[in-house]
Amino acid sequence: MANNFNNAGASGISTNSASPTTLYTSTGFKTIVIELDISNTGTNASSVTAILYDTSANTSYHIVKDAPLPSGSTIKVISGQKVVLNDGDEIRVYASANSSADAIISLLEDVA
């Protein structure tokens, strides 16, 4: 089975905690999240949240919650450690109101 490196990104992630941006969904295989970065692209300070949604348990787990993110800065939410996603699991992100943020995730897909 081949391992495939991939990435996904979102510009202007959601500022609504009830409707976060789904940054990535593991479909048909296991995936290892290598890195997740969120950048504040606006002029206001922000806070950001990243969630792992486990479809088999229908439960969300915070990877980081309300992490402060000054204007023009980036936070490495996942870096150095790994997060394993099973088939159907999702990474969801959102920022605080009146802010603007982008997110990018690096992955290793189709892991045996």
Burial per residue of 37-56, b for 16 or more beta-carbon CB atoms within 10 angstroms, e otherwise: bbbbbbeeebbbbbbbbeee
Q: Shortest CA distance to 29 belongs to which of 93, 89, 78?
A: 89
The total domain count for the chain is 1
Tens digits of residue pLDDT in 86-112 = 999 999 999 999 999 999 999 999 887
Specify the pLDDT at position 93. Answer: 98
What pTM was estimated for this model as a whole? Answer: 0.94
Place 3 in a pLDDT band, splitting at 50, 70 and 90: confident
Q: Does 1 score more than 70 pLDDT?
A: no
CATH of residue 59's domain is: 2.60.120.1330
> Per-residue pLDDT tens for 58-91?
999 999 999 999 999 999 999 999 999 999 999 9
Which residues form the domain of 13? 4-111
